[in-house]
Each structure stands twice: as structure tokens, then as C-alpha cells.
Chains A and B, each alone.
Chain A
Amino acid sequence: MSENPEPASAASGGISMRTMEIATALFFFAVGSLVVYDSHRLGSSWGSDGPEAGYFPFFIGMLICISSAVILCQAIWGRNAGRSGVFVEWQPLRQVMAVLLPALVFVLGIQVIGLYVASAIYIAGFMRWLGKYSWVKSVLLGVAVAAAAFATFEIWFQVPLFKGAFDPLSRLGY
């Protein structure tokens, strides 16, 4: 994936711009190749009844490959290749991860215990650990937001949201 945190230039105090440029270009090239491969499999030429299913995506895939190849060359040999830019320093990266990782756990939580319960826990936990709020405040706000979402979607708009594999709310009759 494009976000692989390679510690390529630990000396400069972060992930270097160049590493990320190259990684992203490679990611694009991989996507482009996949598109070309699958379009070719479907048939990317002229069938008996007109253009085949892979006709248009084939060109799209080729264009992705070409442009990512150019970006890759520019990143490696281009004028600014030696530029010691930093994509993100470790400290800010840690802050980003402090949001990203709990968010991923939250999505996993939705999968298991459903959106409402996971939201309440996520908001309360985030406030408690990252915002340093008291337990009471955190839990109150988390439950309040989840309850507001429940009232809006389940009762008012009647759009049921995901209850998760274990559905802890089923006992409430929803």
C-alpha cells in the first residue's frame, strides 16, 4: 500500500518526500498494471458487436502506467530528486497515527458490536486518552452522541444502521 511507513531516512527525522513519491508512484503503477491485465483478460479490442468490455479501461490502465512511470523517473532522477524534503516528521506522524489507529479499531468495532455502541466507546475513549477529559465527561458525551444518532436514524428517519455481528442492542427491541 502507499502508506507503508518505511524508515528510509530516519536521520532526517521523518519519512522523506522522495520515499513517499516513489512509493506512491509504484502504487499507481501497480494499480495501472492490474487494470491493464484485467482489461486484457476481458478483451480490449474490437469484438463482433463493437468495442469489448475492456476496451476503454485498457487505455485508462495504460495512461496510469505511463504517468506513474514519468512521476517515478522524476522522483528518482528529476531536478528535485536530491531535495531533502520531509514528507512527515516522526512527531506529527505519531499524532496522525493517534487518530488513524483508533479510527481503524473503531471501524473494526462497528463490524463486531455495531455502529451505535462502537461510536459511544470510540468517542469516550478518544476524549479520555487523547483529550485527557474526566471519565464522567467522556462517557456522557460518547453516549449522548450515540443516542442522538440512534434517535435521528433509527427512530426519526427510519434508516437502520449497522448493528454488528453480535448486535448488543437487540435486547432493546431494535
Chain B
Amino acid sequence: MEDIGALFHGFSVALTPFNLLLMFIGVSLGVIIGVLPGLGGANGIAILLPLTFSMPPTSAIIMLSCIYWGALFGGAITSILFNIPGEPWSVATTFDGYPMAQQGHAGEALTAAFTSSFVGAFVAVVMITFLAPLVARFALQFGPPEFFAVYFLTFCSFIGMGKEPPFKIMAAMMLGFALAAVGIDTVTGQLRLIFGWHELMRGFDFLIAVIGLFGIGEILLSMEEGLSFQGRSARIDPKIVIQTWKKLPRYWATMVRSCLIGCWMGITPGGATPASFMSYGVAKRVSRDGNKFGTGVIEGVIAPETAAHAAGTSALLPMLSLGIPGSPTAAVLLGGLLIWGLQPGPLLFVEQKDFVWGLIASMYLGNIAGLIIVITCVPLFAAILRVPFSIIAPVIVVICAIGAYTVHNAMLDIWFMMLFGVLGYVFKKLSYPLAPLVLALVLGDRAEDSFRQSMLIAQGDVRIFFSNFLVGGIMSLALVLLLWPLFSRLRASLRRTAPAPT
């Protein structure tokens, strides 16, 4: 009950005219970012982050998180109208969304996508409202070993749940840790991994990595595919909106299922992209019209969109309550907290009540604002995609360069951005995952600190990680997840040698 009171206080924080204005600006910017190739939630927020340094933190995070909601909505527009997923999590939406648009049901598909996104996000926010304070209160008892165990769990679940080859996930992740270690060691003050190059003393900022990997890398990829946009007309008739809304309650089971999948995948750092695929797959298997999936079934739009938004939103739960982001975008927001001088983690709920509950309240309001904006302004946003790539590409490169420079006012960072861009292009093509790299770069220093503190407490004895029920449980779960690919391969090969009796 105490939390409900806090939530209403949060609404009073979020509902100032200035914050409402920022919310609408944020959502609109977010949709534009989601529609444009090369700009996504993570790097869009990374680029805009330096501009918010002068704002009060609560207003700043409201705007930035609204950009995130907008980007989540925006991905659906390009998938349905152009068959080009603006964001990785909307790939699954193209399977049925684009066929629907081809058959002239674009309005219906868009309405279904936006509404189910809204439902997914809403359920996730409700879950955050009730679960996040509990998790934070629980985590207050954590010491360094427990925190390291949670970090370890996060990274192991990437390896266990990722669809890329496990060793590639590990290599990418460890590269992130190595980059995070560059610069001054926070404990001893020694210079690490700079090989006499003193400009490296600052270390690699993950914002630069995000802008390069996702921004420049994406531009190079889209250039290779030789984009030609051939969109369907995009206008949403209010009548169609009402008609579609009347139809949607029929698919409540799909929505509930997708919400559950999404929330689960968002909290464990599976992220929005696998959540949308998994939800689409499950819906296809369960649905009565399963064999019609892929030809333009409305359920095929509802399932991935609900899950993607539920996952994208619930990725903020571990970020707020534990200080561990569930997705690259959440990681960028976490970086923002650090820059504004807020220490993410369980203490945030105790020390920064206004901030936390203002943010949670703004999630409710931001999603409503998002739904209104996307339903009314779809033609406007779709028109952006008709601007030729030869204009958009250089403008985005310029925006990325500005964004990279403003992080530290360092020219060298622009060069690093280009380097990360090339790496992003190569990694993406060879299926090295980028999300664990970014998360390791963000969490590297703190994971190392908690590891070293644990080692200090235990005088170098690794058994501290199994010293009590809590830390031992988390570590064991992490190890199970880490070895999961091995188990499933073993099971598959057993099944192959001895076919199960039918």
C-alpha cells in the first residue's frame, strides 16, 4: 500500500507541464529514431544524453525513457508498411504485418500492433510498480559476493539463452570487459592497458561504443543491402481503429501469453528481440490458425509486438532495483543515472524516491502519450522513410559524430566511433552478439569491484561464492544457465541415438 502512495506522489512529479511537454517531445523523437535506419533506441538515447546534463535528472530520464517507448512503437511502423524492421525486435512483426499491409489491411495491422504494444508495456509497468520495490528491498541485504553472483548470472544467461554460438557470445562479452578495464584502475590507481598512449587514460566510454556499433554499423549494413523503400500507403481511419479494437479482446489469451514471455525475457537479460520471436513461435504453435501464420494473420502481429514491449519495458526492472540493465538501451539509461550523479541499485528506492516514482509514473503516462501520437501521426512518420537514403545516411553519420564528440568533448572519440562502427558491421555479419559486449562494457568496472571486494573479504578463497544459501543459489543457477547449451545438445544427441518410443 505504501507503494501505491508513492506511485501517486510519482504522478504528481511527472504531471508538470514541463515534464508532459518533454514526454511528447521524447515520444515523437523516439518514433523518428525508431523509423530511421541506423538510429535506434540505444544509440539515439546515447546521442541525446549529453544534451540532458543541464536538466533536472527526473525530467531528463522522463524524456529519455519516452524516447525509448517511442522507438519501440516506431519499429512496428517500418515493419508493417515497408517490410523493413526499423529495430531488431520488430523483425517478427514483418512476418504477418507486411502481408496484411499488402492485402490492404495496413490500418488494421498498425492499430493491432500499437494497441498490443501498449498492452504489453502496460502490463510490464504494473509489474515493475509492484515488483521493483520488493526486489530492491530484498537486494538491500546484498553484499559484494551476492552482487557479483547477480552479475555472473546476468552474463551466464546471455551465453545460455543466446542464439549465437556460445563461444562467440563469450568472446564479445569478454571484449567488453577488457575495454571496460582500460584506463585508471579505481582501486590501485594504476594505469591499465593503455600501452603508453595517455589519451586512453579516460578509458572507452560505452556511449561511444553504442553510437558506433549500432549507429555506424547499421548504416554500413543497410548500405550493403542496397535499401529501396517501397511503402504501402499509411493512413489510419478512426473507423478502422474502432473496428480493430472491437476485435482485439478475442485474442486475450495470445496477449496474456506474450506478456508473460516478454516480462520474463525482459527481466532475465534475454531482451526484446528473442522475446518477440519466442512469442511468435508459441502463438503459431498454440493458435487454431497456426498454419495460416505468415500470410497476414492479426495474431501474428499481436504476439511479437506485445512481447517486445513487455520485454523492453521490464528490462528497466533490474536496472532500477539492482543496477543491472536488461538491455543495451536500459544500459544507456543506467549510464545516464551515473552521469547525473545517481547511484543505481537498491538504495535508489530509499534515497531518490521522487526520481524512481516519477520515472515509474512517467512510464504509464509515456505509453499513453505514445499510443496517441503513433495512431494519429503514422502518415507523417512513414513519410520520413521516403526520404532517399543518400540524404539520410550522411545526416545520420553527422549526428552520430556530434553525439560521440559531446560525450567527453574529445576528438579521439569520433575516431573510436568509426572503429566501433566497422567492428559492429563485421560482428553483426559473423553473428557475434553486440548486446553482451555493451553490457559488459557498462558493468565491467562494477563487476570487477564486487569481485575484488569479495576476494578481499574471503582472502582469495573462491568458496565465498557458495558460502550461504542466497549467494550459492544464484551462483548455481548461473552455472546451470551457462552450461545449458551443453545440456540441450547432449539431450538432442541422446534422442538421436535412441529414438523415443512412440
Contacts and interface: CB of A to CB of B under 8 A. Distances in A.
A1 B174 CA distance: 18
Interface in A105-153: 106-107, 110-111, 115, 119, 122-123, 126-127, 130-133, 141, 145, 149, 153
B426 A159 contact: no
B143 interface: no
Given A67-B174, A104-B418, A106-B401, A111 B411 contact: yes
Given A24-B426, A42-B192, A103-B397, A96 B391 contact: no
Interface in B176-233: 177-178, 181, 185, 187-188, 190, 192-193, 195, 216, 219-220, 223-226
Contacts of B430: 17, 20-21, 24, 87
Interface stretch (B77-85, B163-171, B239-247, B343-351): B163-171
Interface of A is mostly: helix
B24 interface: no
Nearest to B432: A24
Contact of B418 (A67, A70, A103): A103
Contacts of A160: 409
Contact of A126 (B54, B393, B405): B393
A51 B401 contact: no
A96 B175 contact: no
Contacts of B216: 103
Nearest to B54: A157
B423 A2 contact: yes
B174 to A, nearest CB: 5
How many residues of A sit at the interface, in one of the four size bands? 35 or more
Contact of A34 (B51, B193, B223, B224): B193
Contact of B390 (A35, A38, A130): A130
A50 B226 CA distance: 55
B402 A95 contact: no
A155 interface: no
B178 A95 contact: no
Interface stretch (B4-12, B300-308, B376-384, B448-456): B448-456
Nearest to B166: A67
Contact of A95 (B223, B422, B432): B223
Contacts of B223: 95-96, 98-99
Contacts of B423: 2
Contact of A46 (B421, B451, B460): B460
A111 B455 CA distance: 45
B479 to A, nearest CB: 15
Contacts of B418: 103-104, 107
A104 B418 CA distance: 7
A52 B418 CA distance: 33
Contact of A131 (B390, B405, B415): B390
B51 A63 contact: no
B472 interface: no
A76 interface: no
Given A145-B395, A159-B51, 4 more contacts: A35-B181, A130-B390, A145-B398, A149-B402
Interface of A: 1-3, 17, 20-21, 24, 28, 31-32, 34-35, 38-39, 42, 46, 50-57, 60-61, 63-64, 67-68, 70-71, 74, 87-88, 92-93, 95-96, 98-100, 102-104, 106-107, 110-111, 115, 119, 122-123, 126-127, 130-133, 141, 145, 149, 153, 157, 159-162
**Closest 10 interchain pairs by CB?**
A131-B390, A126-B394, A92-B224, A67-B171, A53-B190, A67-B170, A67-B167, A53-B185, A57-B181, A123-B394
